[in-house]
Amino acid sequence: MGVRRIAEQELYFQEIKEIIQYHQEHRNLTRLAYQSAMQFLMFRIFYERSLEEVFMNELHFVREARRELEELTRCVDWKRKEGENEIRGKDTKEVMELRKCIETVGVFLYEYRLRTEEYAVLIGCIIQILQAAKDNHREVEGRCTELLKHASRNAAVEIDDLLESGAAHMALGETIRFDLLKSPVEDYLLFFENICKRLKENKEKENEETKRKETKRKVFDRLEEEGYEDGIIRLRYCILKGIFGDDFLVRRIEYYIVHC
């Protein structure tokens, strides 16, 4: 009975994969149906690691996610504030579809560990959405910062991807502008914390030391140019003086110093 059930599940997953591939070629599903099918398969990764290769090499998830994000970004009315319309109109539907797509990408960046050269472009799309969502679509903005944290933690996403995509520059600008009430500074600092930890961890691997030094220099030069360290020191001073009333950042301040 167990063998039969496994065989039935494999057939079921194969059929869903074929439906997704047919849609990618013919566009016969609604966007939400397509996203739901992708999500359904994606959550199986917790039980079947082999699905990683299916998503990367057969379903081309990164390429498809980038295309979906780009299309949805063009459809959303970014000037209209969240909750402005009582009637659920087209833009509300598009925002809902965008959130679902971002959620799926978030699961992917959090859990998947296969390398692809397309990560920088995908993260670049996330940055574009984040910039467009600022002020008027705070929930979308928050979900995008979550994606940046996942990307900075994921070893399959190289630090160079975070530099080339503009993610480090975006996080840096938000960190040093001091607007803790309007900007999720904690999320951006965790982004840098992950980068710093990875640079330190790579130090233990002798065969990666040359690349680590080169990458660290890129990060440090960018941060030094933009005044990141000075911003961290001023931010720490404000927190110590009780201006923001939370010592979370102070207790973790050593993680944000890159030249160590």
Contact status, residue 152 vs residue 191, Cβ threshold 8 Å: yes
Exposure string (b/e) for 66-93, b if CB count within 10 Å is 16 or more?
Answer: bebbeebbeebbbeeeeeeeeeeeebbe
Q: Kindly list the domain boundaries of the chain, sorted by start residue.
A: 1-156, 166-260
Predicted confidence at residue 191, as pLDDT, reads: 86
Q: How far is CA 212 from CA 153, 191, 219, in A?
A: 16, 18, 10
pLDDT digits (tens, 9 = 90+) for 207-231: 566 766 777 677 767 666 666 666 6
CA distance 66 to 117: 13
Quote the mean pLDDT of the chain.
78
CA distance 97 to 109: 18
CA distance 239 to 236: 5
Predicted confidence at residue 91, as pLDDT, reads: 56
The amino acid occupying position 206 is E
Q: With a cut of 50, which residues of the chain have pLDDT below it?
A: 1, 86-89, 244-245, 259-260
Give the percent of the chain with pLDDT over 90: 27
